[in-house]
Structure 1
Amino acid sequence: MTASDHGQVRSKRLGPLNADAIETAESELITTEELARMLRVDSSSIRRWRTAQPPQGPPFIPLSERVIMYARDDVREWLASRRVRPEAA
């Protein structure tokens, strides 16, 4: 089986790959390290939140045992839920 044949087999099983859909998914998902930079905390803090019982921090997506991603919309919602308004406190 050539590389070209392999690609055709993949397309038949999974359907054609849509470059726009892949690009959108990539821009909507961020890594632990990207989240840590966004929140200005160490990535070990994000990992600790995720492994705490019960889990803390924003919702996460385990793609595999070693690959964890975060949806930008989930992070925005989580941050909004943590907002404290002084006049309401």
Structure 2
Amino acid sequence: MADLADGRWYTTAQLAAVLGIDSSSLRRWRTAHPPCGPAYVRVSPRVVKYSAADVETWLQELRTDPRQAAA
């Protein structure tokens, strides 16, 4: 449980602000079929949390390196 104590967790609104997107995008991604976006934890019916580590992993998966794309 060290990650829970030491890791950073974001609400939908907080993560949207960090990413510079509207929080409705995160909600839409969660309800898409199949779901997309970063992994999340539904703490209760109204509370969703995102782990900073999961968000970082998701962003790295989306990353495009122009040097490799040109090869």
Q: Name the one with the larger strand percent.
A: 2
Stretches of 4+ aligned residues off by more than 6 angstroms: none
Q: Structure 1: where are the runs of 5+ without partners?
A: 1-20
Under a length normalisation based on structure 2, what TM-score does the superposition of the two structures give? Answer: 0.86
- Say which of 47, 51, 62 aligns to 2:31: 51
Under a length normalisation based on structure 1, what TM-score does the superposition of the two structures give? Answer: 0.69
**CA deviation after TM superposition for structure 1 residue 58, in Å:** 0.2
Q: CA RMSD in A?
A: 1.6
Matched residues in 2 for 1:87 and 1:66: separation? 42
- Say which of 47, 53, 64 aligns to 1:67: 47
Matched residues in 2 for 1:38 and 1:78: separation? 14
Q: Structure 2: where are the runs of 5+ without partners?
A: none
Superposed counterparts of 1:35-46, under 5 Å:
35-46=15-26
Matched residues in 2 for 1:65 and 1:53: separation? 19
Superposed counterparts of 1:1-89, under 5 Å:
24=5, 28-89=8-69
Identity %: 46
User: Taking CA–CA contacts closer than 8 Å with sequence separation of 6 or more, which of the two structures ends up with the larger relative contact order?
Assistant: 2
Paired residue type of 2:11: T
